[in-house]
Amino acid sequence: LAPDKPNAFVGLADALTGKGDFAQAVEPLKKGIALNPKNPWTYNRLGNVFQSLGNYPEAVANYRTAAELAPDESVPIRSLMNTWARMGELDEAIAAADKLLGKMESKDSVEVLGLRSFLCRENGLADEAASNAEKAGSIEPGHDWSLFSSGVVALDRGSYDEAVKQLSSIKDQDFTLARVLAAIAYAKRGDVTEAERIFALIGGPTLSSTNFLFVKNARILADLLKPAVQGYLEKAKSLEAGGDPRGAFGEFTLALQIADEAGSKEIMSRAAALLKAHPELAELPEEARKYSLRGEVLVKEKDLEGALGEYTPALRVAPFCPALRYSAALLAADLGKFSQAITHMNAFLELSPGVPTAREAKDLIYKWEFMIERGADKK
């Protein structure tokens, strides 16, 4: 690298973030800033890196500097709005949305209006939320953010059929927050089965997230589904008492998909005890075997992200399989997803206490915890 050329450091950082090495990208960007402290886009890049690392205060500090250096640009303000929303700093996020709307043409404002509507709703400003949703819908009614904001307004008014209609029409399957709100609408409408299905598909309440808006509403949904969790556990107890451990295992699987953190710990403990008494339950079901083998193929092809993606449905079918948990832990760690790796490895240790690899597994957890302390965890 040319030590006096800031663009060289920015280029290196871009290459690192392109590979997902966000923690390693921090230093090159700081060096680029030191060489050219008046470039707003380097600060914005550094803000993006810190946001990816979940370090929201540092992200905000850099976005603010970018906004000060480029007051006419909307990108840093949008970044501030989104980061404050993730932090739960609702007043700040709403103020940023207002500033951003002042810089935009009406036809381009649907996403910001939709988010502002939801932020107002979360901040107890129901009338403003409804007004923003109505305005977004008048501009582009089929836009995902129009559908989202109008669906949430319908949900809060108790119009559950309308809420389901709007929220289920959203095209972006990665709009996880919208799927949580859709599940809430289904649950409140009385369609608990569909609410469970949606929640299980996105990872349930234990899905790792630092997004305040997601976490808050995921907890609401988890509370709505607690009776369903209890129903599965009671059925599991009955089946176990009746000599059907495999049936009980199936009920534990269903319960785990929608249980909150405390419930998950209880389910894991009971499943581990059942597995100890019936080791044959560790055998992989055909569906889980199919996905795990697909994962093995992708590992050989060095597509680790794809491989971990195959383990997700495998674990949905067989969450109490120690071998699956161990493999998923190693894959997640290789991808720098250390929090996820620790979750899987702790599950492995609980499901297979006393295995010869227990010491190695515990040592790996210590190393991964250290990586998280150093800010190297990827979401």
CB count within 10 Å of CB 306 equals: 14
Which tokens hold the place of 276? 């100890």
pLDDT over 80 (residue 376): no
pLDDT at 126: 97
Nearest Cα residue to 226 out of 260, 269, 186, 252:
260
Handedness of CA 16, 22, 23, 25 (dihedral sign): positive
- Exposure class string for 93-130: b at 16+ Cβ within 10 A, else e: bbebbeebbeeeeeeebbbbbbbbbbbbbbeebeebbb
Set out the domains of the chain in order of their start, with CATH numbers: 1-104 (1.25.40.10), 129-224 (1.25.40.10), 226-282 (no CATH), 286-373 (1.25.40.10)
Q: What is the DSSP string of 5-61?
A: -HHHHHHHHHHHHHTT-HHHHHHHHHHHHHH-TT-HHHHHHHHHHHHHTT-HHHHHH
Nearest Cα residue to 271 out of 253, 293, 244:
253
pLDDT at 260: 86
> Average pLDDT, stretch 73-83?
97
| Residues near 333 by beta carbon (within 8 Å), at least 6 away in sequence | 341, 364, 368
pLDDT over 80 (residue 133): yes
Which tokens hold the place of 125? 């400003």
pLDDT at 210: 81
Q: How sure is the predictor about 379, in pLDDT bands with cuts at 50, 70 and 90?
A: low
Which tokens hold the place of 353? 């206490």
Q: What's the pLDDT tens digit per position in 231-240? A: 999 999 999 9
Q: How sure is the predictor about 3, in pLDDT bands with cuts at 50, 70 and 90?
A: low
pLDDT at 1: 52
Q: What's the pLDDT tens digit per position in 346-367? A: 999 999 988 999 999 999 999 9
Which tokens hold the place of 300? 């050989």
CB–CB of 163/170 below 8 Å?
Answer: no
What whole-number percentage of the chain has pLDDT above 70?
A: 97
Handedness of CA 305, 306, 312, 317 (dihedral sign): negative
User: φ and ψ at 244, to 5 degrees?
Assistant: -120, 75
pLDDT at 31: 93
Stated pTM of the model: 0.85
Q: What's the pLDDT tens digit per position in 288-312? A: 999 999 999 999 999 998 999 999 8
CA–CA distances in Å: residue 78 to residues 17, 104, 342: 20, 11, 33
